[in-house]
Structure 1
Amino acid sequence: MEFESTIGLEVHVELSTNTKIFCGCSTEFGGIPNSHVCPVCLGLPGSIPMINKKVIEYAIKAGLALNCSIANNSRMDRKNFFYPDCPKNYQITQDKFPLCRNGYIEIEGENNKEKKIRIERIHIEEDAAKLIHTENGTLVDYNRSGVPLIEIVSKPDIESPKEATMYLQKLKSILQAIGVSDCKMEQGSLRCDGNISVKEKTCIKLGVRTELKNINSFKALEKAFEYEIKRHIKAIENGEKIERETRRWDDEKGRTSVMRSKEQANDYRYFPDGDLVAIKISDEDVKRIKKTIPELPYEMAERFEKEFKISKYDAAVLTSNLKIADFFENAAKLSGNPKSAANWIMGDMSKFMNEKSISIEDLKFTSSELADLIKLVDSHKISNNIGKKVIEEMFETGESPYDIVNKKGLAQNNNEGEIYEIVKKVILKNPKSVQDYKNGKKKAAKFIIGMIMKETKGNANPEIVNKLVNKELR
């Protein structure tokens, strides 16, 4: 039997406002437990919420960036459920009248073809408190309660865990670029729920779906979805019944487990929130907010391809983070060598940043100093290998490449006469290697070249060394 999976994602994004959605409490991450709270976000009797205008603007901005239509009339609703992280016993959210509808983003699907993933809706809501489970019981921190969220609900257009990851990565890059969220998954600013069903390819009707809750990394998303798809397939093959339920992913054990039976929408008994007025958005409001949307990552990637003549892959990697994209663009223009700038950033710089767990904004040197390094290599004042030593020093000290080269005497020797004398000297000292070369062992030339580079402390121009050694060994 052949099977196919159908996936829809519900992505919860914490908005980067200074205060919560219905009160003036801070949204700052961390802090002493239950210190960023007030009667409103604690749900105390008699407290009255008031909506944060910035939340509405950020949600509209996200909707426009994701090709949604914006509702002129919207409202807030109460979603009723009983859980310790929800002190009012209801969550203020949006049900039938969300702010944004009918959007989409495009990802690269099978055979490198663009695939459109439709977005059903984007609505605003308040976050719940954080539960901390201990050996002695469960603790509740209400600092997160009332932090503003947008929930982005996709249509079931995703067919594989890989596509789900690509969708979420692109979504993240767009939201970061427009500045509505920092999307720090490790802090819970971006969380993902997935609805998954599996059926035989010949079957028209979709399979029974299960929901995976609160996935907070790309690696976990792909592993969890792959596990769940295999679980569904095994159950179908064994003739077992698949229950409609909510499950959690255990990253350590590498499996999902049941949390609860999946609720239906009518279980929540939605009704309009009587304390909050209706939301009315004018066309002028939408036009004003649209003007604040910068160049989006995929638009920037297309421009980089054309303007800097770099590959589609390089452009996609460099624009996945706006700070990296800005760093690259400046270095590319100042150095006049965009391909080299891309190679340094995606190669040595990326390696060092990963090793040191730092981001591009934490670097001790600037994009103009990377451009200076590229110019030193391109003008043959230093070799590419010496350049690798220089950039490592730049990471450590923040000194300019010119100062490092001058201080450590790393300038490349391009004097052919001087290099020729060293070549002759090394060849005379290694007659066996010369004879090996003449006997057909071409690797012997590499040994001699290595000895010459050692003799010159790596400063001899490698092109000149190669040319002279090949000439002498003929």
Structure 2
Amino acid sequence: SILLAIEASDAKMEEGSMRVDANVSVRKPGDPLGTRCEIKNVNSVRSVGRAIDYEAKRQIVLIEGGEQVRQQTRHWDEGDGKTHTLRDKEDADDYRYFLEPDLVPLVPERAWVEQVRASIPVLPSARRVTLAEAAGMAPDDEAVVTIVDRGHDRYVHDAVAAGGDIGRTIVHVQQAFADVGAEPPVPAADLAALTVLEVEGKLTATQAKTVVGDLIERGGGDPSAIAAERGFEAMDTSELESFVDAAIAAQPDAWEKYCAGEGKAMGAIVGHIMKASRGQADGKLVSQILERRKG
């Protein structure tokens, strides 16, 4: 993510833009560092994990069998899920620990260093902290990490600045904007207006999800008008109560379990209501009604 942020690479490992050399060694607790092997040119994050796991287990088997781990360069074979020897490195100098004679010492001027530092954009770690603080979430929350990695965090801030609810904005951007590229096609103000309809109870989460899809397809628009086109209207309380009555009658076992304290049983009742109402029931209000009736 850092390389992407500073535009040093497109980080497409599968296309060869970036490769990983992983050094692996194992040791028993309290023992000195073990002999390491270098796995060369691994070309995907998944493969890096698999290669390291395999190589660590391979070395453990050798040590537990009384054998020594040889210092080697190894190749990861995705087909058989194993590492294979490329060459042994008997001498530490093979690892290029000595100075490169063809490269002269480089001492950059301080002014140049500061100029480069000033030109670097805000890095992903700092952007995650900023978004997390604004949303009241942890910087390592999946939604925060995903949105920043896609470069959509500035869009989220713009939507909030336009009056949007940050919680609902994050949900929609994470779930619906995965394939839209770095520049979302929906104006931030349009998504903000949609989240307002949700917060005000004029659209359910299910309805809002549908409207977001329409906004993406159309490149924006008035979410209220789109909702009206689809016949999405806020369900009044009396109508919602009738759906709850029907669901309880249709799911007596689930209702009994829910009243007995099994919270998971609510899912069957809510699911019945959402299906019967074609997604127009407000899940939050349904939960409140069920909780009230349970007493």
The residue correspondences of 1:101-116 to structure 2 (distance < 5 A) are: none
Aligned to 2:234: 412
1:223 equivalent in alignment to 2:223: no
Instruction: Map 1:200-239 to 2 at 5 A.
Output: 200-204=28-32, 206-239=33-66
Aligned position for 1:338: 166
Equivalent residue for 2:4, pick from 176, 196, 219: 176
Q: How does 1:303-314 map to 2 (within 5 A)?
A: 303-314=130-141
Instruction: Report the AA paired with residue 221 of structure 1.
Output: V
CA contact under 8 A between 2:247 and 2:269: conserved in structure 1? no
Asked whether the 8 Å contact 2:132–2:144 carries over to 1, the reply is: no
Q: Compared with structure 1, are the counterparts of its residues 243 and 282 closer, same or farther at alpha carbon in structure 2 (3 Å cutoff)? A: same
Q: Which residues of 2 match residues 9-48 of structure 1 at below 5 A? A: none
**CA separation of 1:187 and 1:359: change in aligned 2, threshold 3 A:** farther
Q: 1:236 to 1:310 in 2, by over 3 A?
A: same
Q: In the TM superposition, what whole-angstrom CA distance separates every residue of 1:316-368 from its partner, at most 9, and x where no partner exists?
A: 5146426122222223333442222222233x326xx3xxxx35337543433
Where 2:137 maps in the other structure, the secondary structure is coil
Question: In structure 2, what is the equivalent of residue 402 of structure 1?
Answer: 224
* Residue 403 to residue 324, structure 1, CA distance change in 2 (3 Å): same
Instruction: Name the residue aligned to 2:242.
Output: 423
**Structure 2 partner of 1:245:** 72
1:310 touches 1:339 (CA, 8 Å); kept in 2?
A: no
- Asked which structure has the greater CA Rg, the reply is 1
Residue equivalent to 2:121 = 294
Contact 2:190 2:220 in 1 (8 A): no
Q: Give the alignment partner of residue 198 of structure 1, picking from 10, 15, 26.
A: 26
Aligned pairs (5 A) from 1:258-273: 258-262=85-89, 265=93, 270-272=100-102
Residue type at the aligned position of 1:245: Q
Deviations 1:408-455 (A, max 9, x none): 111323x446x27x829x96xx69928958x95769998887776666
Aligned counterparts of 2:273 and 2:95: Cα–Cα separation in 1 = 79
- Higher mean Cα deviation, 449-458 or 178-187? 449-458
TM alignment of 1:357-372, pairs within 5 A: 358-361=179-182, 363-372=184-193
CA distance in 1, matches of 2:190, 2:266: 36
The counterpart of 2:214, out of the listed 382, 389, 393, is 393
Do the aligned residues in 2 keep the contact of 1:209 with 1:244 (CA within 8 Å)?
yes
One-letter amino acid of the counterpart of residue 133, structure 2? K
Q: What's the TM-score once normalised by structure 1's chain length? A: 0.51
Q: Which has the higher strand share?
A: 1
Summarize the Cα distance change of 1:360–1:372 in structure 2 as closer, same or farther, 3 Å threshold. Answer: farther
Larger RCO of the pair (alpha carbons < 8 Å, separation 6+): 1
> Structure 1: any 5+ residue segments left out of the alignment?
1-172
State the match for 2:112 in structure 1: 285
- Give the structure 1 partner of residue 154 of structure 2: 326
Could you tell me whether the CA contact under 8 Å between 1:318 and 1:325 is conserved in 2? no
Q: CA–CA distance in 2 between the matches of 1:271 and 1:472? A: 81
Q: Is the 8 A contact 2:75 2:85 kept in 1?
A: yes
Residue 372 of structure 1: CA displacement?
Answer: 2.4
Aligned-residue offset at 1:225: 0.5
| C-alpha displacement of 1:313 | 2.6
Verify: 1:380 aligned to 2:208, yes or no. no
CA-CA distance at 1:464 after TM superposition: 5.8
| Aligned residues of 1:423 and 1:468 also touching (Cα < 8 A) | no
Instruction: Check conservation: 1:318, 1:328, Cα contact below 8 A.
Output: no
Residues 369 and 231 of structure 1: CA distance in aligned 2, closer, same or farther (over 3 Å)? same
Cα distance change of structure 1 residues 332 and 215 upon mapping to structure 2, 3 Å threshold: farther
CA distance in 1, matches of 2:247, 2:3: 65
Matched AA of 1:389 = T
Q: Contact between 2:39 and 2:74, CA under 8 Å: does it hold in 1? A: yes
CA distance in 2, matches of 1:331, 1:231: 51
**2:210 partner letter:** K
Using the alignment, how far apart are the partners of 2:191 and 2:24 within structure 1? 46
> Aligned AA for 1:433?
A
- Following superposition, the deviation at residue 232 of structure 1 comes to 0.5
> Alpha carbons of 1:195 and 1:289: their partners in 2 closer, same or farther (altered >3 Å)?
same
Cα offset, 1:463, TM superposition: 5.7
Confirm or deny that 1:433 pairs with 2:263: no
Deviation at 1:396, TM superposition (A): 4.1
CA distance in 2, matches of 1:453, 1:367: 29
User: Could you say if the C-alpha distance between residues 183 and 462 of structure 1 is closer, same or farther in structure 2, counting changes exceeding 3 Å?
Assistant: closer
Measured in 2, the distance between the counterparts of 1:197 and 1:451 equals 55
CA distance in 2, matches of 1:441, 1:195: 54
* Cα distance in 1 between the residues matched to 2:251 and 2:92: 83
Matched residue count: 284
Asked whether the equivalents of residues 198 and 207 of structure 1 are also in contact (C-alpha less than 8 Å), the reply is yes
Separation of aligned partners in 2, 1:180 and 1:244 = 32
Q: CA RMSD in A?
A: 3.9
Query: How far apart in 1 are the matches of 2:164 and 2:148?
Result: 22
